[in-house]
Amino acid sequence: MVQKLFGWLVLLACAACIGPKIRLAPPAGAYFQAMNVKFNFSDRQGRQNGRVYWRFDDRHAKFIFFTPLNQVALELDVAGETAWLLRPGKKLFWRGDFSRLLDRLWGIELTMEELKKLLLVGEVPQRKLDDNGMTIDLKTDPGNPAPRVVNIRRNDAHVTLRVTNSEIRTGTIVLLDYERRFQAAALEDILSDD
């Protein structure tokens, strides 16, 4: 009997030492959202498939586009609605408007803020749809407003974005001064396959 009582006391003492797990959502201090997104794009000229790692906070965003061999092909840095598209292998950069770049890449015209809201909480920019002839379909999980799959169509362009992972991390997004280290180039030179 004494051994059983002693055993119970040891178990209770061990259980008392386990501290409660405290989860902060979002974490205290500076934090950013990180997402892995697979994309499929098609239009009259062809098809593209790829993977993008996207990190953003309330001020900046950074997209890293990977090749099929999992190497960095392009980097896109965004501050507000100003975008810097970088081609690290050639040390080239282009600077311009984010929505113009998205229109050139995928034939859709969304601002950075609209894209964030679309992928984070499934907020569809209805006015943009009416003005630009776009359609957006979302597939979500029950109880979660963030879409897992986003289908966007405009004219003959069709983009599918699949969010494979989304998490919050501590820290901030820091944009480097690439204009000093890279050479300015036209957008088509950055996007060329050579």
Per DSSP, the three-state class of 96 is strand
Is the full-model pTM beyond 0.95? no
- pLDDT average, residue stretch 163-179: 88
Proportion of the chain in helix, strand, coil states, percent, rounded to 5: 25, 40, 30
pLDDT, tens digit (0-9, with 9 covering 90-100), for 88-118? 889 999 999 999 999 898 888 899 999 999 9
Domain boundaries, the chain: 27-191
Cβ contact 92:78 at 8 Å: no
Structure tokens at 158: 């069709």
Q: Is the dihedral of CA 43, 78, 118, 133 positive or negative?
A: negative
What CA–CA distance (Å, rounded) separates 136 from 138?
7
Q: What is the pLDDT of residue 101?
A: 93
Residue 22 confidence class, pLDDT cut points 50, 70, 90 = very low
- Phi/psi region, residue 87 (left: phi>0; alpha: psi -120 to 50; beta: rest), is beta
* Distance of alpha carbon 78 from alpha carbon 193, whole angstroms: 23
Averaged pLDDT, 130-159: 88
Q: Say which residue, 148 or 11, is predicted with more confidence.
A: 148
The CATH number of 27-191, from 2.50.20.10, 3.10.180.10, 3.30.930.10, 3.40.50.300, is 2.50.20.10
Q: Is residue 125 reached through a cis peptide bond, with omega within 30 degrees of 0 on the bond before it?
A: no
Helix/strand/coil for 149? strand
